Each structure stands twice: as structure tokens, then as C-alpha cells.
Structure 1
């Protein structure tokens, strides 16, 4: 089933309903709609652009020496990220079939930041958010086994997007998750299967995961019972 393509004003209304640090500039933000694997527009100037993810997801990736792609950063709904000349050698692309971004001119943000102390604090806030996202990624990648990494990723998604039943809609495919975790897709699938067989999660359809035993998931990730870890499974 093809995704519904909405007009730009639909996403402007979505943007208006979301709370974020650059709220006062929403009226002048450009709405950028991308299909899966489409490159986020680059800016020829030196100031670049800040982007806010309204819908979908974006990956920042590079190609390793062995030819495999490695996702360096994953931007989901509510995340800011910067695109400038320094990233030209990497790929910054849409992951979801319909990814929608709000684009803010880096030059304008810098000018406002120099004149307005409050706005300068807001600009620092989105910079700190990017650093916090990197910290979360290091926690995910720090797992000893793939099951550890998948558990950390699911807990991070639940914290941001989970509903009251513990259901999480995965924003990326298992192939993308494998590139994010720097493992094979077969290993990722085995980790999901193992967690499901042990009653830690339930797979509802292709892209929805329900957390059944949160304590066990936290234990797998090392957040609970930090001295226990001898029973970590290898996936």
C-alpha cells in the first residue's frame, strides 16, 4: 500500500502542533518532502541549514572501506540535525517512504542568535539535543551482543514514542537497523526472534513491537541489575 501524500499545509499544521526549540521561526521554515533514499538538500553556502523531522526518519551514513554502509546517526520525529559543507562526503537521506522536514536557514539562525540572547539559548538547545542523540547511540552500540543493542534501541524508542500498552512502531526496517548497529540483518532478525521466544517482546505485524517484560528487556540492556550479565545471550 502506497503512503498517502499530504499537501504542504498539512505538515505545517503538524509542525505547529509540535513543541520544539525553533518554534518562533515555523512561519518562515520551508517544508521539504522526501521519498525513501532521497538525499536531504545541501546548501551551497557556508552557514548550511538546520532541519527538523516532522514525519518519517533520516539517516546520516557513510560507506566503509569494505563497501558496507554504516549509519552514523539516525534522526527521528522531533529531532534536529544540521547539514553543511562538512558532510558532503557522507550521505544524509530519508529512510521512510514519506519523510517530511522543516528547513531553517543556518545564516538566519546565526544572525538572530547574535542579536537575541533568548534565541541563542534555543539554538544551543538544538545543538545539545544532537549531542544527546550521539550519547544515546553510544549506549545502544555499547551492548556486548546484538540482543543487548536491540534491547537498548527498543527502550530508547519506547521512551520517545511508546504507547500505554508498550507498543512501538519501528521507524526503520531491520536492514536499516542492521546498518545502524553495524551487524548483519540476519543477526538482527535472530535477536528479535530470541527476545520474542523468551517472552520479552511480541512482534505485532512487520513493524510493531510490544514490550511484554520490561524488566527482562532492561536486564538485557544492563539498565537493571547491573551486576548481572552472565546470562546475556549472543545473537
Structure 2
């Protein structure tokens, strides 16, 4: 389920971000709010829009032939997603928690880019950013041990999520496992091991709030 929040000023994000900037080039923007677990777009569906997370978090994933789920990316506040080099989406995108996204019609972006060099530049920056993330994820999956993969994930989230020294992870351990190509049990063991080593601490019953206690030691695992 999603709700159009354009008519409610209280839900409008503050100015800023790539898509907001593109709106000044006569690109029409819309905003929708998705409930937890709601599909934003599906694999193989027409790629008609480009999206930006305003509030919440999104996961993009692909179901493998054996039924397993491989999460390709977590999109957090400010992130752009849904950019494709073909006519259809290669992944499915879902809201991890209640999430608001800003979207622009892809055809409008492409039309404006034909006559506005600044829009072309912004689209190139978005594409390059997504490519860089894909490369980083590929390197993460190349880690030899589960501990190395989990350490790399924590450092990635630390750079993207930390507020006042605490990482409030919106994703579950199952999500983390499917992102890292590991089992749920392996991720849990790795987190427990890092906790026992004194590299991180947990806050709250769900243990989704994590405090990194020794970043230098954790970084030694991310090599």
C-alpha cells in the first residue's frame, strides 16, 4: 500500500537532494508513502520513474532460481534508486519500514537532459554513485570470512547511519544475511563474536541499535 503525500505539506521534505534540484529544471516530482514491506516496484516492471528516499529505508533484491533472495542494496535517506540502463527494472524494491519516497518520471528527466547540461551532469552523478555502490558491494561479497563481511557491512552502515555514535539499523538480521550472502545464523554468530571481542555493543531488546566501540580494530577486518 502507498499513500500520495503531495497534498500534505507536513510530509514534504526540506529542499535539497538531487531530485529536488532537478525539479528546478521543470521536472515534475511526486511523493508517496509506503507501509513496511510494501513493494515500490517489481523486477521486470517498466522503469518509468527514478526514486529518492525522503524518510525510512528501502531494500532492492532479486530472487534467485533456487528461491533464495539476494539483496543488492539498502537505500537510505537521500539515496537515489531505480535508475536503469534498460526499459525494465532488474530488481524488486520494497520499503523496509514505513517509508516516503520522492519520484520523477524518467521520460521527463531524459527530455530535460537533452536541453539542459546541468541535468545531464546530475544524472551522470547519480549513475556513477550507483555504480560505485555496486562495485563496493561486489568487493564486500568477495570477503573470505563471514566476520570480514559483517565488519565491512557495519563500517558501511556506520558511515551512512550513525547519529550521536549509535547505528539504528532499519534492516533485520535476515536482510543483512541476504545482503552479505550468508545465513541468518552465521550473521548472528559473527555479531556475537564481535560483541565478545569488545568491538561493538548492543542497545535495546531488538539489538538493532549498535555502538561501535573499537573502529580501528573493526577496520582491520575490512581489508
CA distance in 2, matches of 1:99, 1:198: 35
CA distance in 1, matches of 2:132, 2:31: 25
Is the Cα contact below 8 Å between 2:33 and 2:100 reproduced in 1?
yes
Q: State the match for 1:201 in structure 2.
A: 200
User: What secondary structure, in the 3-state scheme, does the structure 1 residue paired with 2:72 have?
Assistant: strand
CA distance in 2, matches of 1:181, 1:10: 37
Q: State the match for 2:75 in structure 1.
A: 75
Q: State the match for 2:89 in structure 1.
A: 87
Q: State the match for 1:226 in structure 2.
A: none
User: What secondary structure, in the 3-state scheme, does the structure 2 residue paired with 1:73 have?
Assistant: strand
Query: Cα 1:46–1:61, aligned 2, differ >3 Å: closer, same or farther?
Result: closer
Q: State the match for 1:114 in structure 2.
A: 114
TM-score, with normalisation over the residues of structure 2? 0.85
Q: Structure 1 unaligned runs (5+)?
A: 1-5, 223-235
CA distance in 1, matches of 2:158, 2:203: 15
User: What secondary structure, in the 3-state scheme, does the structure 2 residue paired with 1:87 have?
Assistant: coil
Query: Cα 1:119–1:83, aligned 2, differ >3 Å: closer, same or farther?
Result: closer
CA distance in 1, matches of 2:112, 2:198: 52
Q: Structure 2 unaligned runs (5+)?
A: none
Cα offset, 1:15, TM superposition: 4.2
Q: State the match for 2:99 in structure 1.
A: 99
Q: State the match for 1:9 in structure 2.
A: 9
TM-score, with normalisation over the residues of structure 1? 0.81
Is the Cα contact below 8 Å between 2:174 and 2:184 reproduced in 1?
yes
Matched, 1:126 2:142: no
Calculate the aligned-residue CA RMSD, in Å.
2.4
Residues paired across the two proteins, number: 211
User: What secondary structure, in the 3-state scheme, does the structure 1 residue paired with 2:100 have?
Assistant: strand
Range with greater deviation from structure 2 (206-215 or 138-147): 138-147
User: What secondary structure, in the 3-state scheme, does the structure 2 residue paired with 1:203 have?
Assistant: strand
Is the Cα contact below 8 Å between 1:76 and 1:171 reproduced in 2?
no
